[in-house]
Amino acid sequence: MKYFSFAEFSRSATAAEKGIDNTIPFAAKVNIERLVRLILDPVRIIWDAPLYVTSGYRCVRLNEEVCGAPRSYHMCYDEHAAADVTTGSREGNIELYNAMKSSSLPFLELICENGGAWLHVAI
């Protein structure tokens, strides 16, 4: 992982506020490392500017707390992992979404959320 850290995948304002331990288990770290290696680091290189993870790993309790989908890949089960990322602007996010959509990156999910407020990407 060149451009991303586990700390930014584990950080959650909701977890902090509610006292939820959102420490990333080893199995989830393996999946996150794969998401970063195969998608996020290459995207960061193409984009050539900072990308920020606004929501990465979610333990089951945190996922429930933020009303995540019951099988959300943010919980990093099986081989999966997900991240919500932003370039810092809606325009940038839409541009990045279009660039990723026309790439051969191996994502399972790529969603431009709330009119470009952030991108959800999962492997």
Are 27 and 94 spatial neighbours (Cβ–Cβ below 8 Å)?
Answer: no
Does 40 sit near Zn ion (CB under 5 A)? Answer: no
Residue at 17: amino acid letter = E
The CB-of-71 to Zn ion minimum distance in angstroms stands at 12
**Under rule CB under 5 A, how many of the chain's residues touch Zn ion?**
2
The CB-of-116 to Zn ion minimum distance in angstroms stands at 14
Does 120 sit near Zn ion (CB under 5 A)? Answer: yes
Binding Zn ion by CB under 5 A: which of 36, 84, 100, 107? 84
What are 29's two structure tokens? 């770290």
Are 104 and 46 spatial neighbours (Cβ–Cβ below 8 Å)?
Answer: no
Does 57 sit near Zn ion (CB under 5 A)? Answer: no
Residue 17 CB-density burial (10 A; 0-12 exposed, 13-18 middle, 19+ buried) = exposed
Instruction: List residues near Zn ion by CB under 5 A.
Output: 84, 120
